[in-house]
């Protein structure tokens, strides 16, 4: 194997971008919050993937790494996850449902700094009793730092007793309302 020849091909093939594009623009300065709601008979499992772009990654890391030792300790991870949780709300029908953090996966600082790695939180919202009939989940993500952009989707229910009957997104997807039915 040896070195490449792209520069040589450049001599022979005139490739001229028509739009004057230059540097790649892979969400460098945005903090993507992707929420996925899995609705089941026992409640809602919320997965929140948080991907800071490379231009905001250091700011996000500073939010987490409060002692500035370039290591995300368990305590720092837990504290950051709890801060994020406090910015979320989930209601089933007319009642707020407590959010319980089940899993918090954090990449290493160096990986997070690359602009592609995601912090993943898995959160359980279990109402006291989900009766048969029609219900509605209302989710809201109020975390808005570092150029937050949002995706919010309901996963196709795995349990055949659950059927989604309608969805309503906030314009920027920071909120999602899902209407569903539970069969006995």
To the nearest whole angstrom, how small is the minimum distance from the Cβ of residue 167 to another protein? 6
Residues 106-135 that bind another protein (CB under 8 A): 114-116, 118
Pairing mode, if any, of strands 43-52 and 119-125?
Answer: antiparallel
Per CB under 8 A, the list member of 18, 74, 94, 184 interacting with another protein is 18
Residue 128 or 166 having the CB closest to another protein: 166
Question: Measured between alpha carbons, how far is 68 from 76 in angstroms, rounded to an integer?
Answer: 11
First to last CA, the chain: 64
Q: Which stretch binds another protein (CB under 8 A): 11-19, 57-65, 82-90, 136-144?
A: 11-19
To the nearest whole angstrom, how small is the minimum distance from the Cβ of residue 67 to another protein? 28
The answer to whether 27 contacts another protein (rule: CB under 8 A) is yes
List the one residue out of 126, 113, 106, 110 whose CA is nearest residue 49. Answer: 106
The answer to whether 98 contacts another protein (rule: CB under 8 A) is no
In this structure, the number of other CB atoms found within 10 A of the CB of residue 10 comes to 10
To the nearest whole angstrom, how small is the minimum distance from the Cβ of residue 161 to another protein? 16
Distance of CA 30 to the CA centre of its chain: 12
Residue 21 or 74 having the CB closest to another protein: 21
Per CB under 8 A, the list member of 61, 109, 149, 177 interacting with another protein is 149
Question: Measured between alpha carbons, how far is 99 from 90 in angstroms, rounded to an integer?
Answer: 8
Q: List, edge to edge, every strand of the sheet that includes 175-182.
A: 95-96, 88-92, 133-141, 175-182, 162-169
Task: Tell me 42's DSSP state.
Answer: T
The answer to whether 150 contacts another protein (rule: CB under 8 A) is yes
The answer to whether 79 contacts another protein (rule: CB under 8 A) is no
The answer to whether 160 contacts another protein (rule: CB under 8 A) is no
Question: Measured between alpha carbons, how far is 105 from 86 in angstroms, rounded to an integer?
Answer: 18
The answer to whether 144 contacts another protein (rule: CB under 8 A) is no
Report the interface residues with another protein, using CB under 8 A: 1-6, 8-27, 30, 32, 34, 36, 49, 54, 114-116, 118, 149-151, 153-156, 164, 167, 169-173, 178
């Amino acid at each position: 194997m040896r070195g490449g020849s792209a520069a040589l091909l450049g001599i022979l093939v005139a490739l001229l971008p028509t739009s004057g594009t230059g540097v790649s623009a892979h969400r460098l300065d945005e903090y993507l919050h992707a929420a996925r709601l899995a609705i089941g008979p026992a409640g809602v499992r919320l997965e929140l993937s948080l991907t800071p772009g490379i231009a905001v990654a250091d700011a996000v890391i500073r939010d987490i790494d409060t002692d500035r030792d370039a290591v995300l300790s368990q305590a720092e991870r837990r504290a950051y996850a709890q801060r994020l949780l406090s910015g979320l709300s989930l209601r089933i029908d007319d009642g707020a449902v407590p959010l319980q953090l089940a899993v918090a996966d954090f990449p290493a600082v160096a990986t997070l700094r690359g602009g592609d790695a995601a912090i993943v939180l898995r959160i359980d919202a279990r109402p006291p009793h989900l009766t048969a009939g029609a219900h509605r989940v209302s989710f809201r993500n109020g975390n808005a730092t570092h150029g937050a952009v949002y995706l919010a989707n309901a996963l196709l229910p795995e349990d055949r007793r659950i059927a989604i009957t309608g969805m309503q997104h906030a314009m920027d997807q920071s909120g999602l309302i899902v209407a569903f039915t539970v069969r006995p």
